[in-house]
Amino acid sequence: MAESTKDATSSNQMWGGRFASGPDAIMEEINASIGFDKKLYAQDIRGSIAHATMLAEKGIISGEDKEKIVEGLNTILSEIEAGKFEFSRKLEDIHMNIEARLATLIGPAAGRLHTARSRNDQVALDFRLWVKEELAKTERMLTDLIAAFLDRAEEHADTVMPGFTHLQTAQPVTFGHHCMAYVEMFGRDRARVRHAIDHLDESPIGAAALAGTPYPIDRHMTAKALGFREPTRNSIDTVSDRDFALEFLSVAAICAVHLSRLAEEIVIWSTPQFGFVRLSDAFSTGSSIMPQKKNPDAAELVRAKTGRINGSLVALLTVMKGLPLAYSKDMQEDKEQVFDSAENLELAIAAMTGMMRDMTIRTDKMRQAAGAGFSTATDLADWLVRSVGLPFRDAHHVTGRVVALAESKGCDLSELSLEDLQAINPAITDKVFDVLSVDASVASRTSFGGTAPAEVRKQIAWWRARN
């Protein structure tokens, strides 16, 4: 007996001090999800009300029991929203916490609520409803972000700035055109959000544990009551499907990458070396030791949160990759990743919307930088093709020699004399100077989707009609 007591003590020490009562405490700790899935309380109650209403309509439970159930669930909803509901870890999850409280409130009628359903289809329903609502919120936030970019694009359709490739000065563009690039990105993100909503718009309730139910339920009725297009069509897939969560995380990750690229540009643009933008105090901080510093902390944190969101996608993909059909407890690990990503994506979008509306655009700095680095060299090559008749490759070679000459003289292309240019190619005339300014360069890019201010305004009008 003494040896058994010693073994038990050793065993408990091996489990660790936090789990003083041994394996049962470990199991409770690893099994409980109420710490995070209580976020689904409203969806759980909404789904239960729809389920109870359908059961009564089909004669599976009495109308009297239905009324008691609905009244009790609404009471629980009020208690939770008032902060008066006591969640219990011993009851594992949000479903059992609500069901136990319902039994206390209305007695035996509460036991009829779980007729013709399982926690498997119940959690699938709650989670789908939550993700669908979150996607709708993301869609609205992206619409606001796009609107902020459209406003800045319209304001700066004529503001010239350098366009970059490899972070090297390439060709002059307008800041309005640059803003419209992000409109396209976030527009695609919003389209992905809408597609994700369409893909998950099927009701899982009624699939039960995995095989359906023998009760004469009406899944189309509950689907309609809960705002779904239709019920799911295969009960096994229904309870084992988490594509909707993966798709949410995929949408979030791609959107976060776009936000991170914007954040990186804001960080660069706000440096004294660039000076393209000035952030307000609302989206920057000072240094604890260097009084001259103004740090773009909000942009940097958006950039960092992208790694967190991307990690959530990889985590859930890894959870799901080896699961046989149908439901496995592994799938309890789906919600924290989605909840965390949703919270951080919302924050990142809100921060970027605020920064874009709030930042000061330094048009003087942008214009000064737009002409640096021989940014109109391509315009010279194009002029040689159009006006002199040179093949483009020959024009490219001539332009390279002109750039080398300007570099040796320490001047811009437009500052070279006509004699300098004609020494390289005698066919060059003074008309070439019409294309060597940054304003002339951007004005000439009139191809569909180009940087010419008139074209930028066309694209703004197109997007405003659809935003």
Distances (CA, A) of 250 to 192, 243, 319, 351: 9, 10, 15, 21
Bond before 326 cis per omega within 30 degrees: yes
Distances (CA, A) of 123 to 136, 206, 386: 20, 12, 66
Rounded CA-CA distance 128/133 in Å is: 9
Phi-psi category of residue 228: left, alpha or beta, with phi > 0 → left and psi -120 to 50 → alpha? beta
Residue type, 75: T
* Backbone φ and ψ of 388, nearest 5°: -105, -25
Q: Is 361 helix (H, G, I), strand (E, B) or coil?
A: strand
Tokens 């295969």, residue located = 234
Burial of 90 (0-12, 13-18, 19+ CB in 10 A): exposed
Distances (CA, A) of 57 to 65, 122, 215, 328, 456: 12, 19, 13, 32, 57
Rounded CA-CA distance 211/206 in Å is: 9
Catalytic residue list: 166, 287
Rounded CA-CA distance 15/2 in Å is: 20
Please give the angle made by the CA atoms of 430, 436 and 441, to the nearest 5 degrees. Answer: 130
Alpha helix (H) ranges present in 321-449? 335-358, 363-370, 377-383, 392-409, 418-424, 438-444
